[in-house]
Structure 1
Amino acid sequence: MNAVTGGAGGFLSRFEGLRDRLPGASLERVRALREAGAATLRAKGLPGRRVEEWRYTDLAPVAQAHFTEALTAVGESPALPAARAPNRIVFVDGRLAEHLSQLPPHAAPLAARLEAAQELLAEDGGLPLVGLNAMMFEDGLFLDLPEGADAGTVEVLNLAAHGERPIAFHPRHVIRLAPGAKLTIVETSTGPAGAAYLHNPVYDIRVAEGASFTHVRVQREGRAAFQLSTIRARVAAGGTYDNFTLNAGGRLVRNEIHVVLEGPKAAAHMNGAQLVADGQHADTTTFLDHAAPDCPSRQTVKTVLAGKSRGVFQGKILVRQAAQRTDGYQMNQALLLSEEAEIDAKPQLEIYADDVKCSHGATVGALDPEQLFYLRARGIPAEEARAILVQAFLTEAVEGVTDPIAQAALEEAVSGWWEREAA
């Protein structure tokens, strides 16, 4: 048994001991989803480099970490930053902490609403990490907005509190917007700097006709942590799913997004940035399924790499035969600040319609020495000049985020990054 299969075996053994204690044990559909997830993980193991979608990201460190899952209640309340929005939802080690949260209307802990939410839990689709989540999730967010509701901006904090032993948590978030509903979520994930933990969230998202969901994610996990997230969104006619993800923490991070545009004039934006420092690995993998006509999509992902680091971008756009008049754009750009940094880029287009406008591209470069000279000649110190150019490089990726709360969260994460890494 190799290390990766062994890692899956550890999770499977843990599930065997916990299956009757996990939430929803009495619900037939939940039990079936958990058993199906276990079957997927048992058959495939944790994905390795022989799997094409994982050829650039090695999960052996995850398999070797021997994580455990905790079913105990949250103990002492962790220190919280000042709230950014009137409604804030706090998760500690993957469980919703109601005593630390100000829940908006129509929101609840998933563990308390599993019976109502179970039909919205999507099957794992043969994805081992989704199967692992289905097998082990304890809690998550259940947010079910009614027709025409405007929830405004909701802040979500994901906190890892335990650092004494390697711990894994697998929150499952179920979000549904009825026709015409609107929602903005600004989500931040953080944890202790030296703690080895695994955060494996899965999001099941449904955006109905004419609804709009803006989803801004700031990943600032501890430097010894792993985050392996999977988002699956289905967007109906005239609906919009707008995602921006900033990866700026963690030892090994993979942000995987699957979006299906199911109805005419549905739209998706999947922009992001990755700030990858020495010893870090960041992977953004996306799959966009244009299944209906007249649907636009936009994706710009920028990666900045310092020290001995590695970044990955894999983006696939599928245009089905029925998806005439598709307008799709995808761009990946990387900025290498070190000769030891590495970027792997694999943009893909698969088109079966004949009336489309689609383009994609990838660029890799270093800081422009002439621009550096220009700034230095005006008295700007070298490190500050580099920071200015890095910030300018990221501008295009973040300028589409218009929510002021989201802008503040992104600015805080990006500001000073190069100075900190250069120190």
Structure 2
Amino acid sequence: MSRYEEAKLNYEKMGVDVEGALTLCAATPISIHCWQGDDVRGFDQKDGRAGDGIQTTGDYPGRAGSFEELKADFLKAASLIPGKKRINLHASYAVFPEGEWADRDKTAYRYFIPWVEFAREHGFGIDFNPTCFSHPMVKNGLTLSSPDEAVRRFWIDHCIACRQVAQRMGEALGDKVLNNIWVPDGMKDVPADRMGPRLRLKAALDEIFAENCPNVIDSVESKVFGIGLESYTVGSGEFFMAYASQHPGVYHLLDNGHYHPTELVSDKIPTLLCYFDVLPLHVTRPVRWDSDHVVLFDDELREMMTEIVRCGGLQKVLIGLDFFDASINRVAAWVVGTRNAQKALLWALLQPHEALKALQDSADFTEKMVRMEEAKTLPFGDIWREYCRREGVSADESWFEDVKAYEREVLSRRGT
């Protein structure tokens, strides 16, 4: 009997359908963020850099500096990751024909056709995000909520254009594209007017979402605070949750780095699934603040995935990633973080949820505790190895040898 077969028997004794778990895990897409590969710089600014609401640290060599380099790095990472994949793309990654450039308020589908062709060639879906940061038109920390009509108009036009791009992407790929809006708007010190900016943001969103885009899934993303915006965030959790609840077809995206350290997104998932038929996620790892560290196989990640599975949310929850670390090999960061998301999803699929729910409903809290604890030490590693074998990737850290070879042969020759 193989180690997998023995492990499978152990899980089946707990009432778990292991083969079903492997099938569901392989079929559930993870949307992998492109911006890990170049430190959130993008291609649409001459002196591309993260800033105006986004911050990245580190200067590890080998950063992707072009579309071709970013594609190559993404493919290298994807080849080492099991499961179904999507590309989580920001508007700042527009690919301009030689001699052509357009500012963000003139964002157009033709600048993303290379990404669509890339996605189609490799069987990836695409998700999209307006890029309302790292730009001179972020004025005094504000975009869609700015009192300056010209600033507000610029970002409204950008977001409208991005929805049109997402619609065209969906049409081209025969898919629905998540188009997620996040703005850094806020204030460093105590505001004199908290409501005014929120009313301007609400009016801007109403205009942005006015057009029907059937291939687009719209979402808005909240945040508790930002560096330089410590005292007030316009797009707070309450604001965007209320907005989504009042606007059918607009959903509230949960980023687990965008809340107070004592708040758990794993608890918010079942809450929102009571009311919304779609729940988008950006999965990251905050350390003291929204620092977007590489996702680890930690308690909260497992609990988030467990709630998705436990609530029957695999067809409703859109799992995307959002982290960026410029202090380590960027390809390795992608692989570690995405494999951990996959690993946590498989872990969640292998828990005896129905048996545990029945024990809770019958108030048998003692046996529930016993079984929950017993499930933690079942031979998960053997199931993970079988999953990776079926997906054609390494199950252990041997994949890192491939990344080190890629660093020697490709990344080390770049001037970035």
Using the size of structure 1 for normalisation, the TM-score is: 0.29
Structure whose residues are more often helix by fraction: 2
Structure whose residues are more often strand by fraction: 1
Higher RCO structure, 1 or 2 (CA under 8 Å, sep 6+): 2
